Structure formats: C-alpha cells, structure tokens
Amino acid sequence: MTALDPAQSARPASLSALMGDGMSDEQGTSLWRGAFERLSRNPAAIIGTLIVLAFVLVAIFAPLLAPYEPAKSQWIDQVTPSDVPGPSPGHPLGLDPFGSDLLTQLIYGARQSLIIGVVSTAIGLLGGALLGGVAGAFGGRVDTFVMRLVDIMLSIPSLLLAVSVAAVMGPRPGAIMIAIAAAQVPVFARLLRGSMLAQRGQDYVLASFSLGLRRRTVVMSHVVPNSLGPVIVQATLTLATAIIEVAALSYLGLGASDPAIAEWGRMLVKAQDRLQTDPQLMLLPGLCIAVTALGFTLFGEALREALDPKSRR
Amino acid sequence: MTETRTDATLTRTGRRGSRGPVNRDEVLLEIKDLRVTFQRRGGPATAAVDGVSFSVKPGEIVGVVGESGSGKSVTSMAVMGLLPQRGSKVTGEVLYRGENLLTMGQRQLADLRGSELAMVFQDPMSSLNPVIPVGLQVTEVLRRHQDISREDARVEAEDLLRRCGIPDPRRRLSEYPHQLSGGMRQRALIAIALACKPALLICDEPTTALDVTIQAQVLELLKELVNDLGTAMVMITHDLGVVAGLCDSVNVMYAGRIVEAAGRRELFAHPRHRYTEGLLNSIPRLDAPRGEPLQPIPGTPRDTIAWSKACAFAPRCLHADDECVVGDLPLVQLGRVNHPVRCVHPAPEEEPHG
Amino acid sequence: MAEHDRSAALDSAAGPVRSLLSVRGLEVHFPIKQGLVFDRTVGHVRAVDGVDLEIPQGQTYGLVGESGCGKSTLGRAVLRLEEPTAGEVIFDGEDIAKLKAEPLRKMRRRMQMVFQDPLASLNPRQSVQSLLIEPLRVHGLAVADRAQFGADSSASHLAKVVSMLELVGLPRAALAKYPHEFSGGQRQRIGIARAMILNPDLVIADEPVSALDVSVQAQVINLLERLQDLLGLTYIVIAHDLAVVRHISDTIGVMYLGRLVEEAPSDALYERPLHPYTIALMSAIPIPDPVVEDRRERILLKGDLPSPANPPSGCRFHTRCPFRQPTRCDTDEPALRELTQVAPGRRVACHYAEEILSGEVRVRDADLLIEPVR
C-alpha cells in the first residue's frame, strides 16, 4: 500500500504481480469529473442531452433550418374557416391558421422558448443564489430576515405573480421573463441556503476553521462549491418548467403580442377552435413543448443522480 | 447454562409449550457452501460470500467475526432472504430444520421469518417503524403468532419490555421510537425480535452503535435468552472482545471466506491463521502492560487478491511467500481438533499467544 | 509495568514539567430554543459544566466517557471551535477563551485537531495537494523555509507537503488524488498530515480510530505515537474506547454528564478505578480473551444517561450508581478532589471514594453484580 509498508518490501514477486503496484500515478478523479463520467454512462442522461442539444441547435440555426420566413401569412388565401391545408410537397407539415408554414413556425418557436426559458431561469437563479447565499453565509438575524422575505414571496401564487407583472409591464417578452424569474427566486434561495447550512455543519468546515482559515475563505472556497450541486440540478429542472410556463403565459395572452414572433404557447391558442378539423395544429406545438421539457427533466434527473453523494461509492 | 435451569424457566413462563422440549443436539441451522455474488449494472460480478459453511444448534451462540468487506453481514442477509432480488445471486444451501430456506417460497419464508427466525440489526432506528408506537409494534407481532386478545398482548408486551431491561415499560409502550434513547431502541428491537419466541436469532452488530455500559446490558440480556430459552444465535460482529465473552464457537471471515473456525477458548488461546493472530496482536487490550507498541496488520481490508488466484490475505501477511500463490486454498484441520484453518503458513501450534 | 513507573518517577525527578494547557472552570452551555417566529431560549444543555485540568508539555491526556458526556465539546471548546460559556483555557500563558478573532486565527497554527470521520473532515472537492497546501498558504511561510527556497513559496510548500506525506506513510502519487479515492486508514493519514503540517504544539484527536477497521486502527495509533516522539507534540486524545485511550495516554480523565469524575495516571486507573462510574465502565469493556472474560466480575449499570439539560441533583451519577449511599449522594455535589492519603496524584469526584477503595462500601443491589459464570 505504501512505501513505508513492511509488507510490500517483503512481498514476493508472484504476489505483487497479482496485485498491481498499489496506487497509480495518474490524476485523481475529482467529484465533478466523476459526476461527468457517471452522466456519460447513464442512458437517460444521453437521451436528455440529445433532446436538449437538438432543441438548442434548432433554436440557434432557425433561419438556416426553416424553409420559409416566419409569420409572413404568405398563404393566407389557402386558409378557410373550416379548413387549414395539411401536408403538401411545399409544406411538409402544412400551414398554420394564419397561412404561414407550420414547420417554420415550430422551428422559430424553439427560439422563443429557449431565450425566454434561459433568460428567466438565469435571472431567477442569480436572484435566488444571491439571497440564499447571503442568508447561508451570514446566518443569524440576516438569515431570519432574508428567509421571511422569501417566505412572503413564496406565499404569492406564481401564476398570480406572473399575471400581475405582465399586467403592470404590458404583454411583452420581458414581462414573461421577469414573471417567471420572480416565481423562481424563492425556490433557488431556499435551496442554496438549506444546502449551505447542511454543509456548514460538516466536519470539514470545522476543520477549515481549526486550521485558521478566514471566514470568508471558508464560505467562498469550501461551503459554496459544495452547496452548488442541488442548485445546478434545480436550474436544469427549472428550465423544463420555464418552457412550459412560457407556453402557459402565452396561452393566457400574457406573452408577446407581436404576431410576427412565433411562439409554441400562442400556436396552441390559435389552434384550439380547429381541434376537431385540424388536430395537428395543436398536437405538434404541444409535442414540441412536451419533448423539450422532457429532455431537460431527463437531463436534470440524471444530473441529480450523478451529483448525489449517496450514489457515490 | 444447565438444563435444569432452562426447564425451570420454561415452565415458569410457559413459553415454547407448543414446540416441545428443546433438543440441544439437533442441528437447527446448517449453512452449506453459501455463495453470494453481486452484479452491478455494467460492472463485473463480485463474490461477497464465497463458499461459507457452518451450523448452529439450539442454545448455542456462533460468532462470525470480520471487518468491512469480509461478507459477514451479507451472509446474515442471505440466510434471512433479505438481499435484493435484482443484482444478487445466492447459491448453496441454508437448511433450517432440514428445509432449504433459499428455495422456499417468499410467503413461507416470510411466515417463518416472523415466527421462528428473527434478526436484530445494528441500527435500531431504521428497523423500527417511526410512526407506530413501540408497544403496538410489539403487540402486533405477538398477535400475529398467537391467538390472544389485544389486552393480553399488551400485558405480555409490557412483560417482554421489562425483561429486556426497559424501565417503566407501561409508559414506553405508548411512546414512539424517536422518544427512546439509542440503547432503549435497541432493547425494544430485541423485544420485538423475541416477541415471536424465535428458535433462531441472528444479531448483526447489535451493540456497535451503543455505549459500552449499554452494550454490557444488551449482551447480558442476549446471554440470558440463549441460556433460558435455548434460542440459537448467530452473532455477527467486528469486536473480538464481544466474541470472547459471548460466543461458543467462532468463525473468522476474510474477503468472503471463513479462514479459521474454532471454539472460543481454543481460538483465542491458539490462533492459527495469520489474520486472526494479527488481529489479536493489533488491538490494544485494557489488561495488557502499557508502553509496548501495537503490532498492526499492514495495508487495508481492500488490498485483496481473488481467492481463486491466491490467499486473499497474502498481500497484508507478514509470512506470505510464493507458496501462498495457490488457487482456492482449502479450510483444513491442522493438528488441533475441531479447528480448521485456511492458511499455507499457519502460526505454529505450540507458540503461546499473548 | 514496573519499568514504566520508574521512568515516570525519573521524569518528575527532573523537575516540574511545564504545563502547556490549563483549563479552569470551563463551561459550555448550549441554549435550547423554541418558538415559531422568534426563537426563545427555554433551557440549556450543559455539555461541559465546570472542568479543570492541566496538561504538561509533551504528554498525552486521554478523555473518556460515553456519548453525551461532553468530551468532544470539551475538546472543541479548548480550540474555541465552540464558544465557552465560562472559564479559562490557558494555552502557553494566553487565555484562548478571551482572544480576539485575528490573534485567535494566528494562534490556531499551534493547536490542531484530528477528526473522527476522515471522509467528512476533508473537503471532497479538494485534492490531497490542495488540502495540505491550504494551511501553509494561510499561515504564510516560516522564516527558515524562506531562507532555503527563496521567494518561491509554492516550491517550498510542495516540498513540505511531500515530506509530510512521507512521514505519515503515503506515496507521492497521493497528491493528485481526492479523499474518496482512499481507504479509511489512508484518509485518516491525510487528516493527520494536515493537522501536523503547521508544526503545532497541541493536537486534539477526537475519536481518531473509531471509524476505522479493527486491523487498521493499530496503524493509526502507532503513527500518532511516532509523530509525538518525532515532533514533541502534546496530545489530547478523546475516545469512548478505554483500551485505546489507556494505550496511548499518560493521564486519563473520565467524564460523566459534563464533568470530570476521575483523573489518574493510565496504569493506576486500570489497576484500581476509584469512582463508581469508572469501575462500572471498566467492567463493561469486553476483553478479547475468554479466560479473562469468564473470570471477570461485572457491574451492570441500570438505565440510561440522564439528560444533560437537566442533570440530577447532588452527584450526577447517583441515579445509576451501584454504590449509592442513602446520605449525601443525592444532595451534595462531590468536588473533584485529590486523595492525598490513599491515592496521591489522583483526583476523584465521589464522597465515598475512600470507603469504596477500602471495601467498606460495596455494590448495593445484587442484581447489578454479575459473578463469573463459567
């Protein structure tokens, strides 16, 4: 086992050959790297990653992938109150109720969902991490004050909050982002604070103090890095719900009012009175929302499993 | 320990009437060539228990000693049929009164587990149901196995808790597990295990989480049980001190196999396997002269070789040489009676220990 | 045995040994809080409740007792990882309990701790190199090192880390690895290396071997002893295992419910425990030898440890004491006193210590006494 080990120096060659020579010289496996390796072996993670990747690529390269310009209503004359043209050679998925190409609308919709989902989650994460971090780092009265504030935020139903924000700011993308973010702030704050408190009780934090480390160093370079795991997982899962919420708020008419911007949630609204005659108008955007949310959820759950210390050997 | 005392106790408490007198020469549990392999998703199969055999008679305490990874706890789980179905494979025979528990139906086994076989685990908190009062957990078992009224069961439960050394048992009956201290919980767990008057009790590190003074109480209780009721017991522990005071015979396990088995006096007086010898030399003894450095076993229990290639202890053994690189070393009698050893270079017979 | 006594006598003949640490009247009380919105203090857990002890330079003081007796809290309060409620902790002439934050932080270099669970006490995201260099970086470079390595502190730090690893018996390859990649014994070596790398004077080891496999414990015990000889350390070893503590310590203090009930040189304590609690504790410890086990007389204690939030009146042990007498025990709290007449150099907190020693006072309840059986 070690250089000083009497057994090793005396160990016969035949035994050493069977054992290998103890500790390898290679680089150790850090927790992040170990988590990544577990992730890359998990089929759910791979499927989730593929879905998310596909979604992101579609969103970014929408102009290249889409066969037409979005929301131009070029074929409005083909749409009748009782019928929307289905798939045809020029339009693989047919048209939408406004006479635009349905495939083009779906592809540009990905863009909208991604931007709003990512930006709102980022705002929520930032705000929540700030509040939770302050509460977790200082503790005591600061903690009590911040957490009561968070409790108040939590007690307002998120949809109501979103509706009021949208009502104040008017129906535009920024309103949706802030509305969604506002609902996420308390979730992230509580999570990071709880995680930090749990880490602060650990022996290694006590050990850091006993070594004479400054409080700031202990919090920033020991407590915080070890508390981030659950927050990262939550952020991934929140992306899934954010995408659904974007759709939900648009469905309620609180999203962008500019019809030139394709958005999955609004596509649902426009399709609902044609559910009987042209179900694909509702099914396809619905499927896009579901699959994307599923992708983020799968990835997030796999990430949770990979980061969870209990699944570590 | 004597038959007369046992009989007197039996008559007095009226226990075990239906099962007839205890025949102390009958073999109650016989484990033959038990093997447990675990296979994790994508990983290679590893043998946690690798051909273990021993038997237990009524009124006998058989010790299984080993460190982490020795397979001692897996052995007990396999005997009780408590290993997860997925990912584990159990072969060999576990004969209880001649019937193989491993091939028995789930239902039949569950019946037997509640009535004749019982197990006490290391962690009492996770083995007790946290949302049910302790008393109800005891009476539940009593009523499942006897046709008695709720009131009678309560009286008997109270008696059981008292005999397990729980003060003020009437009050304790209505309390929840979290309201009891660790030692109290462990005694409550033993009371539940005893409620069905098991013929065989398997204890897996029952006192490891307890303080020494509480450990002494619990061990004394177990000893009484075996003496008074003729219960057979398998005691799984890492603590040689517990074994020395409690067990009739001892099996020392290392890396999934028994490396040495003997009666307790024989084992401690003449340890033959180099692992047993090393263990005894490495633990500080309360009664040993001070000032002498301990003689540790080098390495860790992780430094093993597969038994199929060589002696698994060889990497840590000070006496290992090329001869130890032999596949599947047998467990054989070497000179002394009833004292099999699995070792190429056992400690010399005459060398006095200590 | 006799030889050991002689060496102890020689030590004392060489003149009084300098006391490195003296603890006086130390108390650590934790408030019990209740309340939904605003926390209200409804009582105190008296984890440590008035402890006095002296530890001479270069010696090992063992603290034993069962869980909840306050031994770990006492250890942490000495390092001021817990804030003492009252009392003094005088380390090399300075009262640790009164130091301000920055001087305390500097003082920490000289007082280190080894923890029970080596995995929990090492940051899982730090490599061994980073774990061991961190304390050096925090406390800056020693002057001697600066002379040898010039301004290049990282080279000097690394050299020190490597030599420390070697000292605790780990290969250089360990540097790039993370705590979870080691076995329990190796992790504890890392924990010990980290505690020793700052050249401390006092090291407090809180259950240093109880989380380890039996066959590995001796390695760590021997390592601690070797490092003490090599580096001239003073130890406080806290453990529930009296056999381990006796092996490693010069003096042993036995704690019960926040107080020291007995203090004696290790050999004397085993030869003749004086406090009823020590007697019961000693008799409860299993000895790995059936011959001894069968001949031993045992004293069983009844019941459990009372709550430290509400300790019994009089002698704290009287509720479980097998030697309890009708008078004084439940009313007067016995002081920790030196038995100058019958057992000089030993301190006991029992009204009837002399009578128990002489055999006048015996175990009262026959049920509690387990005679040898076989």
What dotted CATH number matches B1-116+198-302? 3.40.50.300
Q: What is the mean pLDDT of residues C1-16?
A: 45
Whether B254 contacts B275, CB under 8 Å: yes
Phi, psi angle pair for A283, to nearest 5°: -65, -45
Q: Name all chains with 3 or more CB-CB pairs below 8 Å to chain A.
A: B, C
Interval B57-72: pLDDT, tens: 999 999 999 998 899 9
**Interface residue of B322, B344, B345 to substitute, partner A, most A CBs within 10 Å:** B322
Domain A98-313 adopts which CATH fold? MetI-like fold (1.10.3720)
HSE of C130 in the Cβ direction (CA atoms, 13 Å)?
14
CB-nearest partner of A15 from B42, B298, B324:
B324
| Token output for A60 | 């970014």
Residues whose CB falls within 8 Å of the CB of residue C67, separated by 6 or more in sequence, listed in order: B182, B211, C240, C305
Residue closest to C43 by CA, chosen among C27, C30, C32: C32
Q: What is the pLDDT of residue B8?
A: 36
Segment (H or E) for A53: helix A43-60
Q: What is the pLDDT of residue A5?
A: 44
B-C contacts at Cβ under 8 angstroms: 157
Interval A15-64: pLDDT, tens: 666 665 556 667 778 888 888 888 888 888 999 999 999 989 988 888 88
Q: Which of A277-281, C103-107, C144-148, C160-164 has the lowest mean pLDDT?
A: C144-148
CB-nearest partner of C214 from B219, B283, B291:
B283
Chain A hits for C115, CB-CB cut-off 8 Å, are: 203, 206-207
CB-nearest partner of A214 from C79, C105, C127:
C105
Q: Which of A285-299, B175-189, C217-231 has the lowest mean pLDDT?
A: B175-189
Residue closest to A120 by CA, chosen among A249, A1, A303, A285: A249
Torsion of CA A102, A107, A109, A110, to 10 degrees: 150
- Please state, in angstroms and rounded to a whole number, the distance separating the CA atoms of residues A277 and A95: 13
Q: What is the pLDDT of residue B24?
A: 66
ipTM reported for the complex surpasses 0.90:
no
- Sheet order of strands, B257-263 included: B117-120, B200-204, B232-237, B61-65, B249-254, B257-263, B340-341, B332-333
In angstroms, how far apart are the furthest CA atoms of chain A? 92
Interval B259-312: pLDDT, tens: 999 999 999 999 999 999 999 999 998 888 777 888 999 988 888 889 999 999
In the predicted model, residues of chain A with pLDDT beneath 50 are: 1-9, 311-313
Whether A114 contacts A292, CB under 8 Å: no
Highest mean pLDDT among A197-206, B127-136, C4-13, C295-304: A197-206
**Is pLDDT at C13 greater than 60 in this prediction?**
no
Q: pLDDT confidence of C200, banded at 50, 70, 90?
A: very high
**Are B325 and A12 in contact (CB < 8 Å)?**
yes
β-sheet bridge partners, residue C21: C55, C91
CB-nearest partner of C125 from A214, A217, A226:
A226
Chain C residues with CB under 8 Å of a chain A CB are 76, 79, 81, 105-106, 108-109, 111-113, 115-117, 120-125, 127-128, 134-135, 138-139, 166, 169-171, 173-174, 176-178, 180-181, 186, 191, 194, 198
Residues whose CB falls within 8 Å of the CB of residue C68, separated by 6 or more in sequence, listed in order: C257, C305, C308
Q: What is the mean pLDDT of residues B87-104?
A: 92
The residue extents of the domains of chain B are 1-116+198-302, 131-195
Give the chain C residue nearest B218 (alpha carbons).
Answer: C300
Q: What is the pLDDT of residue A256?
A: 62
Residues whose CB falls within 8 Å of the CB of residue C206, separated by 6 or more in sequence, listed in order: C72, C75, C76, C113, C114, C115, C116, C238
Q: What is the mean pLDDT of residues B21-35?
A: 83
Compute chain C's Rg from CA coordinates. Answer: 22
Q: What is the pLDDT of residue A17?
A: 67
Residue A145 Cα, gap to closest chain B Cα (Å):
32
Whether A233 contacts A240, CB under 8 Å: no
Average pLDDT, chain B: 85
Q: Which of A215-219, A265-269, B116-120, B149-153 has the lowest mean pLDDT?
A: A265-269
Residue C104 Cα, gap to closest chain B Cα (Å):
35
Query: What domains appear along chain C, each with residue ranges and CATH number?
Result: 2-35+45-262 (3.40.50.300), 272-370 (no CATH)
Say which residue, C354 or A259, is predicted with more confidence: C354
**Are B244 and C293 in contact (CB < 8 Å)?**
yes
Whether B138 contacts B154, CB under 8 Å: no
Phi, psi angle pair for A221, to nearest 5°: -105, -5
Helix ranges (DSSP H) in chain B = 3-13, 72-80, 106-115, 124-127, 134-145, 150-163, 169-173, 182-195, 212-229, 240-246, 264-269, 274-282
Determine the angle formed by the axes of helices A173-200 and A224-251, rounding to 10 degrees.
150
CB-nearest partner of C115 from A4, A207, A217:
A207
Q: pLDDT confidence of B14, banded at 50, 70, 90?
A: very low
Average pLDDT, chain C: 87
The residue extents of the domains of chain A are 98-313
A312 touches chain C (CB under 8 A): yes
Interval B159-172: pLDDT, tens: 888 877 787 888 88
**Are C127 and A28 in contact (CB < 8 Å)?**
yes
**Are C166 and A25 in contact (CB < 8 Å)?**
no
Express as a percent the part of chain B with pLDDT over 90. Answer: 38
**Is pLDDT at B251 greater than 90 in this prediction?**
yes
**Is pLDDT at C292 greater than 80 in this prediction?**
yes
